[in-house]
Amino acid sequence: MTRRAVFLDRDGVINRARVVEGRPYPPRALAELEILPGVAETLQGLRDAGFLLIVATNQPDVARGAILRAEVDAINARLMELLALDDIRVCFHDSADGCECRKPRSGLLTDAARDYAIDLARSFMVGDRWRDIEAGRRAGCTTLFIDYGYAEKRPEHYDYTVKSLPEASRIILNRSDLKRESK
């Protein structure tokens, strides 16, 4: 039996992104990590509804030498401790590396789908940047764009636009065609 998942970008979706000149950036250290309001409760509600919760995040600052991988790993470990997450998938590459895991490519999602027997057509991608939404679209997921009005490229195609993860969750949970299966 295949499972349903909610894929989540990390920075700007579950934790606060630093916004500099209208552009979002990840926390630079564990001490800067701040989980956004309502996220813990929202994730627990999605888990209770039967969804796997998998973070899919690009962290190119590691390849660029701006942050140590150990710091990113510490942030991710803290998120796993505090939140109802099943996994965190990370691409540490920069755009020039041409890897399949860097969003907007769908490798992080398709690899997780293989490992967890996820039905991508019955799953969701929630993100705050065009790369997140495009990765979800390429994987065949329903996409929810958290629109913070960043001063950067916007996604061209998405299924829903929302203002927060709790709002995205209400849409996900109300999709009548994806109600929880009886066991």
Q: Mind listing the pLDDT tens digit for each residue in 4-31?
A: 999 999 999 999 999 999 999 999 999 9
% of the chain surpassing 90 pLDDT:
90
- Over range 137-152, report the average pLDDT: 98
Tell me if 66 is assigned to some domain. Answer: yes
Q: Are 24 and 58 in contact (CB under 8 A)?
A: no
- In 43-123, beta strands by DSSP E: 52-58, 87-91
Q: What is the reported pTM?
A: 0.94
Alpha carbon separation from 137 to 29, 64, 75, 134 (Å, rounded): 31, 27, 27, 5
* Residue among 79, 78, 74, 77 nearest 62 (CA): 74
pLDDT tens digit string along 34-87? 999 999 999 999 999 999 999 999 998 999 989 999 999 999 999 999 999 999
- Is residue 9 part of the annotated active site? The answer reads yes
Tell me if 64 is assigned to some domain. Answer: yes
* Residue among 142, 147, 105, 158 nearest 5 (CA): 142
Tell me if 172 is assigned to some domain. Answer: yes
Is pLDDT of 138 > 60?
Answer: yes
Tell me if 183 is assigned to some domain. Answer: no
Tell me if 82 is assigned to some domain. Answer: yes
Backbone φ/ψ region at 157: left (φ over 0), alpha (ψ -120 to 50), beta: beta
Structural domain boundaries, residue 27? 5-178
Tell me if 63 is assigned to some domain. Answer: yes
CATH number at residue 153: 3.40.50.1000
Q: How many Cβ atoms from other residues are within 10 Å of residue 77's Cβ? A: 12
In total, how many domains does the chain have?
1
- Is residue 94 part of the annotated active site? The answer reads no
DSSP assignment letter at 147: -
Tell me if 157 is assigned to some domain. Answer: yes
DSSP assignment letter at 17: P
- Select which of 11, 61, 128, 132 is catalytic: 11
